[in-house]
Amino acid sequence: MLNGRTDRCHSRRTFLKRSAAAAAAAGFPWFTTTKIRGADAPSERVAIGCIGMGGHGTYHNLNALLRQPDARVVAVCDVFDERWTRAQSLVEKHYGTKGCEGFQEFRRIIERKDIDAVMISTPDHWHVLMSVMAMREGKDVICEKPTYSIEEGRILADTVKKYKAVYQTSTEDRSMACYHRMAQIVRNGRIGKVRSVHVRLPSGNRFPDEEAIPVPKGLDYDLWLGPAPFAPYTANRTEPGHWRQIRAYSGGLLTDWGMHQLDTVQWALDKERTGPVEVEGTGEANLRGQYNTFSEYKLTYKYAGGIDLHVQSGGTSIRIEGTDGWVGNAQFAAAIEASSPEIAAWLPGDGDLKLYTNPAGEHRDFLDCVKSRKDPYFPAEVGHRCSSLLHIGNIAMLLGRKLRWDPEKESFAGDPEADKMRGRPMRKPWSLGA
């Protein structure tokens, strides 16, 4: 294991050359390419291991990485045997050669010295733990959102700084023209001083409780649970649309979709590295049932400076209102709408603020930053702050009262009960300790 990020950066070519030589000695070519010089040469490629090969992990994240000429997926992993074998087959078919290893145990990928970066596409309760473990082994990380808790998010952001890692919170929104333009319009004062923001996010499902059944063959269910409390296996517990509705693994549709829409809001408000000072709200949830996240919710946040943020279930829209107009869109990824054609059409010129993005998306941006060592467009600190915004909303609904939040200390003012809910215990032997 190399000591420190600087050593690892200077040694990436050496790692890749050694790995290629070892692969050739084993009887298969590690790289196949017609180019032997330039940015796409084997020694310049980023070796990637993918953890979590469900639908999104395979058909969005893996496919996106396979399209990048300067990336090479060398290993895949999933607790479901059928998922990692499917992904392995897709990788080898794409490259036209053997050489992609497949595992059920994610630590096999994290421990590999020839892997530069990992793509994590697991349920939420694994995001921070896997990311931290990977960074401690000298790897850069691109990981699905959100964090699982406020305390875990702080550990994540601090670990990125400690190891000088490149970390991308994996969402596409900042690369999408409608949201990038929306944020630039607001940040450049085109709607005047912001007064209020109105956001709608999807409602959750209300699934019925399920009876325990035997764990299916080919699934390491104990590893799927990992740091979460033990619970008997049920028919749909591990399915994406279902586990997201269980608080042991996720914060529900609020934290899922909120990481899309509310990141744009905090970006536009220039609050992406801080947060609100107050939150209150109500929601509907079967708190005693298996599927116990909030399916409906209505929240009001207050930021210093007098901005109110209203969030409720039932859609995917954003509307940012200022003293001189408003801007937003009516549903996810829709065209910008505004109080005037001039605002809707505005683009920054010389002397205007231009916010960083990468129109090619989060995977391309991540790879560029692995090479440049700059922060990606959605770095760990910003992702943590957006997740925290959503976590404090869930805590306010669970406690049923208005909460005062200190974004500097990242704690609830005068409320020890709420403060205890910023983190969670992990099931042994899992821990974020060094």
For residue 113, what is the domain's CATH number?
3.40.50.720
**pLDDT for res 434:** 73
Same domain, 259 and 339: yes
Question: Is residue 426 situated within a structural domain?
Answer: no
> In angstroms, rounded to a whole number, what is the distance separating the alpha carbons of residues 346 and 329?
15
Residue at which a domain ends, from 173, 191, 226: 173
Cβ-based neighbour number of residue 347 at 10 Å: 10
Looking at the domain assignment, is residue 361 inside a domain? no
What CATH number does the domain containing 251 carry? Answer: 3.30.360.10
Q: Tell whether 57 is covered by a domain.
A: yes
Cα distance from N-terminal residue to C-terminal residue, the chain: 16
* Pair 385, 253 in one domain: yes
On whether both 300 and 389 belong to a single domain, the answer is: yes
Cα dihedral 257→260→261→263 (10° resolution): 130
Are 239 and 274 in the same domain?
yes
Three-state secondary structure of the chain: CCCCHHHHHHHHHHHHHHHHHHHHHHCCCCCCCCCCCCCCCHHHCEEEEEECCCHHHHHHHHHHHHCCCCEEEEEEECCEHHHHHHHHHHHHHHHCCCCCEEECCCHHHHCCCCCCEEEECCCHHHHHHHHHHHHHCCCEEEEECCCCCHHHHHHHHHHHHHHCCCEEEECCHHHCHHHHHHHHHHHCCCCCCEEEEEEEECCCCCCCCCCECCCCCCECHHHHHCCCCCCCCECCCCCHHHHCCCCCCCCHHHHHHHHHHHHHHHHHHCCCCCCCCEEEEEEECCCCCCCCCCCEEEEEEEECCCEEEEEEECCCCEEEEECCEEEEECCCCCCCEECCHHHHHCCCCCCCCCCCCCCCCHHHHHHHHHHHCCCCCCCHHHHHHHHHHHHHHHHHHHHCCCEEEECCCCEECCCHHHHHCCCCCCCCCCCCCC
Q: Would you state the pLDDT for residue 19?
A: 39
In a domain, 185, yes or no: yes
Tell whether 119 and 202 lie within a shared domain.
Answer: no
- If asked whether residues 107 and 187 sit together in one domain, one would say no
Q: What's the number of CA atoms in the CB half-sphere (13 Å) around residue 22?
A: 9
Total domains present in the chain = 2
Per-block average pLDDT, block size 10, for the chain (434 residues)?
34 38 35 38 84 97 98 98 98 96 98 98 98 98 98 98 98 98 98 98 96 98 98 96 97 98 98 98 97 98 97 98 98 98 97 98 98 98 98 98 98 97 97 88
Domain that holds residue 312: 176-210+218-354+380-420
Domain contains 13: yes
Residue 125 lies in a domain: yes
Q: Are residues 190 and 156 in the same domain?
A: no
pLDDT at 44: 82
Choose one of 110, 144, 173: the last residue of a domain: 173
Does residue 344 sit in the same domain as residue 241? yes
Same domain (yes/no): 21, 159: yes
Position 362 in a domain: no
pTM of the complete model: 0.90
If asked whether residues 37 and 149 sit together in one domain, one would say yes
| 240 in the same domain as 126 | no
Q: Is 333 in the same domain as 391? A: yes
User: Domain for residue 366, yes or no?
Assistant: no
